[in-house]
Amino acid sequence: MRIYVKEGEEVLQKFPSVYLKNDITVTVIFPQGYTQESGGYASVYVIGHQKVNKEQIKKSFHGQNGAQNALIAAVALSGYEETAALANFITKELLPYFEMNYGADPNPQKRVIAASGGEAAQVLEMLESHGGYFKTAALLMQDNMAMPHVKNLSAGVRIWAAGRAGNMARLQFVLEDAGLKYPDDFAFKIFSTVKDELLWGELNFSYLFNKESVTPLKSTVFYKGAGRASLADLTPLSVWLDIKTKAGYKINYVPRELRIAPPFFVWDAAAAELTPLYGAEQGNIKISASVPFGKDIATTAKITK
């Protein structure tokens, strides 16, 4: 392994592994005022196939989202296929090295594993099978990606995710079906940007590192896209809940069921979309939903010609 030292970071090239056969590069980014002797640092492990943008990681993670005092390991991988190999590399090789050489806190609640794309789904499978190592995860879900195969996530897990509405809706249902409760066990933010360099800024490490209850809620409102749908082209409306909590978090939620009167819309919860029915009439439509962690909420949408 070759180590390159720069101000505020180290680059570990050809990090050795018996589980991953191809080249591994780990960029270690230190928080301000870091000293190895202090120890007890929270750590964030950013996993990805592609080379990570170090400057964007620094800006996003050591910015205003709660990871200012954390050690960051940006891990660029290539050529592996099995989730088990990735899990063994992280838990048996990377974590011990970090805790021995950089003073990273061994408490699973103080380790965050962050990933985007295909690795995000693998991370969730790792949480199910290696729950003793990680209790927190930050995930960026790419468009139309496969959902993870999880059935029963261990107690004490906390997950923050970000992605487009359809990805977040499907992930929400997977996590709820695996036994997690929204928003105390997991929460997410829906975004519309396609600029990759902006996406890490949607992650909230304050939520992950602080285990206080997220409820009660301060406010809950419907987001309805443009707020109106046209009979001419049956354009769907993107719909979800915008939520502010008294703990200061801004999160989103997709109701599984909506009550619609008159019933001129079809609700596709997995896509978070309302589509006007063929033959619907123009006018105001009342929409309401039951929220399992808050009060029922209602709004109106308009169907135009």
Last residue of a domain, one of 180, 211, 242: 211
Give residue-wise pLDDT tens across range 204-247: 888 998 888 888 889 999 999 878 888 887 778 899 999 999 98
pLDDT exceeding 70 applies to what percent of the chain?
Answer: 94
188 and 71 within one domain: yes
242 and 111 within one domain: no
Look up the domain containing 41 and give its range: 2-211
Instruction: Tell me whether residue 194 is in a domain.
Output: yes
255 and 168 within one domain: no
Q: What is the CATH number of the domain that holds 205?
A: 3.40.50.1820
227 and 207 within one domain: no
The predicted structure's pLDDT at residue 51: 63
118 and 7 within one domain: yes
Report yes or no: 208 and 160 within 8 Å, Cβ to Cβ: yes
Mean residue pLDDT across the chain: 86
Whether the predicted pLDDT of 128 surpasses 90: no
Number of domains in the chain: 2
The confidence band for 62, taking pLDDT boundaries of 50, 70 and 90, is confident
163 and 28 within one domain: yes
Instruction: Tell me whether residue 263 is in a domain.
Output: yes
The predicted structure's pLDDT at residue 250: 92
The predicted structure's pLDDT at residue 194: 56
**Cα-to-chain-centroid distance, residue 255:** 18
Residue with the larger pLDDT of the pair 17 and 64: 17
Assign 3-class secondary structure to the chain: CEEEEECCEEEEECCCCCCCCCCCEEEEECCCCCCCCCCCECEEEEEECCCCCHHHHHHHHCCCCCCCCCEEEEEECCCCCCHHHHHHHHHHHHHHHHHHHCCECCCHHHEEEEEECHHHHHHHHHHHHCCCCCCEEEEEECCCCCCCCCCCCCCCCEEEEEECHHHHHHHHHHHHHCCCCCCCCEEEEECCCCCHHHHHHHCCHHHHHCCCCCCCEEEEEEECCCCEEECCCCCCEECEEEEEECCCCEEEECCCCCEEECCCEEEECCCCEEEECCCCCCEEEEEEECCCCCCCEEEEEEEEC
The predicted structure's pLDDT at residue 49: 64
Instruction: Tell me whether residue 175 is in a domain.
Output: yes
Whether the predicted pLDDT of 69 surpasses 90: no
Residue for token pair 């997950």: 159
Mean pLDDT of 119-142: 85
297 and 176 within one domain: no
In this prediction the pTM is 0.91
Whether the predicted pLDDT of 186 surpasses 90: yes
- Nearby residues of 293 by Cβ (< 8 Å), 6 or more positions away: 181, 182, 183, 184, 215, 217
Instruction: Tell me whether residue 216 is in a domain.
Output: no
Report yes or no: 98 and 47 within 8 Å, Cβ to Cβ: no
The confidence band for 84, taking pLDDT boundaries of 50, 70 and 90, is confident
Q: What is the CATH number of the domain that holds 281?
A: 2.60.40
Give residue-wise pLDDT tens across range 7-61: 888 999 889 899 887 778 899 999 888 888 888 899 999 987 666 677 777 777 8
244 and 207 within one domain: no
The predicted structure's pLDDT at residue 196: 53
The predicted structure's pLDDT at residue 193: 57
Mean pLDDT of 134-144: 85
Residue with the larger pLDDT of the pair 239 and 128: 239
